[in-house]
Amino acid sequence: MGHQLPTAQRERGVELLRDPATNKGTAFTREERDQFGLRGLLPPRVFTIEEQRERALGNVRRKTSSLEKYIFLISLQERNQTLFYNLVLDNIREMMPLIYTPTVGQACLEYAHIFRYPQGLYVSIEDRGHVAEIVNNWQEDDVRVVVVTDGERILGLGDLGAGGMGIPVGKLSLYTACAGIDPCQCLPVMIDVGTNNPDLLEDPLYIGTPRQRARGEAYDALIDEFVSAIQSRYPNALIQFEDFGNQNAFRLLARYRDTVCSFNDDIQGTAAVTLAGLYSSLRVTGKSLTDQTVLFLGAGEAGIGIGDLIVAAMQAEGMTEAEARRRCWFMDSKGLVVAGRTDLAVHKLPYAHEHPFIEDLLQAVETLRPTALIGVSGMPQTFTQPVVEAMARLNERPVIFALSNPTSKSECTAEQAYTWTNGRAIYASGSPFDPVTLAGRTFDPGQANNSYIFPGVGLGVVASQARIVTDEMFFVAAKTLAQQVTEADLATGGTYPPLEKIREVSLAIARAVAEVAFERGLAGAARPQNLSAFIQAQMYVPEY
């Protein structure tokens, strides 16, 4: 349900209008205007939320750039969050690319120059010893989901320092829009340990700490202090680590996953949504998961996370771990990840197979003969026409997932994939692409958007009060998501359900995740008789 109006003793008049959680703007009734001292502070006509939504939608559409639309929407969120979420949910396909990828990438690049209002907590390296005080400054007493970044690896854009705050803000907007997590229970956090981006360090308007990034003991101590402060004030909160650099992302996940209710969306969420896309593709190809050979371009957080979940899924279907790992191959910036290399990071070693080194992606495709090619490199146009045509020559229905974000970083476009394969590609991308018409047939390409996974996982964790988040939860989330794809979706090229069904999808995933929590003894809540109804009753609905 939506938020109730405050009592007259709490907020009145202008103060009430400035609270985004309870502000209704011109939708305040005449009785409410009298009760809360609003008469004369608003235009006299009372509007419905539907009428307000139409006005806001017109304002969005009149903006001439995606960034200007983003700025308007964020401003709306800051003054009337109920109307903001009502608008987003009613126009989810149009609004999703504006409040998150790809537009959020441009917003983060320019964050210091479009900054208007702080929407979360900023914890800097200079705050060591005082982080609990900062967390206690947050106005809400019942936070259930925290999204935190240190801004080092924002999408495929790299180190954007404090400008990375746009990512937690955007992710939490999706938690609310897609899964109904109450916005008052969401906390975005920017851990500012500096930046190594010279453009930001030279920018007089940069909002972060103008210093080189802290590393080592000082960094770890700050993160530990932050996690402890969150656990102390918000013991039921889920912590989502987002867009950390590779050298910290894997370490932090390993450090906290077994003792803190936490996960890394770039590693685990991306893995689950990609596995779901693979499950959907199998319904088209008629093959089994254990028949697949997957070649990844990119061996960072996303790629290794996907590989690990595919291995777990193959093991669930009867393969040994060694056999399953042998079905996953990785290309990094140097070339094929093989056992003979001496320059490999620790997280790549499980996939360093005995094989001659190959430097070129096309040669790797020709040699390894993959059934699926997955791009998580952040390097645009690396799935060239010869590469895609080779995939089509080797496979009747080649699986080509170009997952790098934002759109400008995609390994190939939907139009390229369909054109170069004569419409035979099973394609998905990280950011949205418009439908493609080829030889009289229209393809609506799937978007492997993490918003299909993490909001539902979070809702299941919050509803069950799970103490930790396990790989099994992401595995069942992937299987549940794939089950939501219809034959009609597959017929038009969709490997994921329509965004318009996102709340229905999130509820199904939340139920599956909560089931795991209850069955494994990880839940703090008592198991209800009707789990779906129990979860649905907790979902925020943006209505007055």
pLDDT (0 to 100) of residue 338:
98
Give Cβ neighbours of residue 255 (< 8 Å, ≥ 6 apart). none
Question: Choosing from 100, 219, 540, 544, which is the catalytic residue?
Answer: 100
The structure's pTM equals: 0.94
Q: Which residue has the tokens 């609004």?
A: 95
Domains and CATH numbers, the chain: 13-99 (1.20.1370.30), 111-260 (3.40.50.10380), 267-544 (3.40.50.720)
| pLDDT tens digits along 323-382 | 999 999 999 999 999 999 999 999 999 999 999 999 999 999 999 999 999 999 999 999
Q: State the pLDDT at residue 431.
A: 87
Alpha-carbon span 488 to 497, nearest angstrom = 10
Is 219 catalytic? The answer is no
Look-up of token digits 């490199």:
377
What averages of pLDDT result for each successive group of 10 residues across the chain (544 residues)? 52 92 96 96 98 98 98 97 98 96 95 95 97 97 98 95 98 98 98 98 98 97 98 98 95 97 97 98 96 97 96 95 98 97 96 98 98 96 98 98 94 98 96 93 94 98 98 96 96 94 98 98 97 98 97
pLDDT, tens digit (0-9, with 9 covering 90-100), for 72-88: 999 999 999 999 999 99
To the nearest 10°, report the CA torsion of 125, 71, 36, 29. -150
pLDDT score at 4: 55
pLDDT the model gives residue 144: 98
Question: In sequence order, what are the residues at sequence separation of 6 or more whose Cβ sits closer than 8 angstroms to the Cβ of residue 469?
Answer: 238, 257, 261, 262, 263, 268, 457, 461
Would you call 96 exposed, middle or buried from its count of C-beta atoms within 10 A (0-12, 13-18, 19+)? Answer: buried
Say what the pLDDT of residue 309 is. Answer: 96
428 sits in which H/E element: strand 426-429
Query: Do 244 and 153 contact (CB within 8 A), yes or no?
Result: yes
Catalytic residue among 24, 69, 70, 171: 171
287 catalytic per annotation: no
pLDDT of amino acid 14: 95
pLDDT of residue 9: 45
Listed residue (53, 60, 58) closest to 82, CA to CA? 53
pLDDT computed for residue 1 by the predictor: 54
